[in-house]
Structure 1
Amino acid sequence: MNENFESIQLDKELLSDYVQRLGHGVVKQMFDLYIQQVALYINDIESSLLCDNSQLWQEHCHKMKGAAGSVGLKSLHIRLKEMEKTTMGTSGKAQQLAELKIHNKQAIAAFDDWLSGL
């Protein structure tokens, strides 16, 4: 993975501060928790789409946005901020969700690459 891609994906300043203050092991634990929780967040977003509930969509996108931001997933945080406020219909949201799943995998890969490079 190239440096530019990681820079787009990650808030390296925040993450470097975490590593300095908390240590590599704690940052790894934080990210492992994110990986566990994100499966639930994506499920919740998908459920809100299936029952066509815009309020739940917004709430679940908001939760995942906060989680992504707290572990330094900068571009994913931005995407979720846009999704949270969307006024698109079901098909537009379905497309956003499909893209979110891909983006999340890319962000996780960027984080793993960054962390293993420390």
Structure 2
Amino acid sequence: MIATEQLDLSLINGYLEALDIAIIQQMLDLYIQQSALYLAAINTAIVAEDQKAWQEHCHKMKGSAASAGLSQVHQKLVAIEKMTENWQVKVTHLHVLTQLNQQAIEVFRQWLAKQ
């Protein structure tokens, strides 16, 4: 996966101009921790079949992904945040979201390593 597909490089390059690389690494580390919590909360919402919790946690993760510059993760969350499909469909979306998130984190790490 190439960085331009996964990352909002204009945003991240803007961060690089304003911030030390170590700060950007800390931002990514914080996102990794938060996204794990969001994904767990989204899964809990599925188990509880709680539409309000689904939307709330997708919304929070959507903002976090946008701030971190993970554009594909953000786009996926935009697409699924307000969906009302059955819970099995949401399980599938959660699996895709989890994979996208891992891929984006890895691409971001690779990008950081080149800076």
**TM-score range for the pair, normalised by the shorter chain length:** over 0.9
Instruction: Determine whether 1:61 maps to 2:36.
Output: no
The answer to whether structure 1 residue 28 and structure 2 residue 25 are counterparts is: yes
Q: Compute the TM-score of the two structures, normalised by the length of structure 1.
A: 0.94
Residue 37 (structure 1) aligns with = 34
For residues 3-27 of structure 1, give each alpha carbon's deviation from its aligned partner in whole angstroms, at most 9, with x where no partner exists.
xx21010000000000110121111
Where in structure 1 are there 5+ consecutive unaligned residues? none
The aligned runs of 1:97-112 (5 Å cut-off) are 97-112=94-109
Provide Cα deviations, 1:66-99, integer angstroms capped at 9, x if missing partner: 1110010001100011110212110100000011
Counting aligned pairs with the same residue, the percent is 42
1:90 corresponding residue in structure 2: 87
**Residue 113 in structure 1 maps to residue 105 in structure 2:** no
Partners of 1:58 and 1:68 in 2: CA distance: 15
Whole-Å separation in 1 of the counterparts to 2:40 and 2:3: 26
Q: Which amino acid aligns with 1:112?
A: R
Q: Segments of 4+ in structure 1 off by > 3 A?
A: none
Task: State the alpha-carbon separation in 1 of the partners of residues 65 and 17 from structure 2.
Answer: 20
Helix, strand or coil at the partner of 1:86: coil
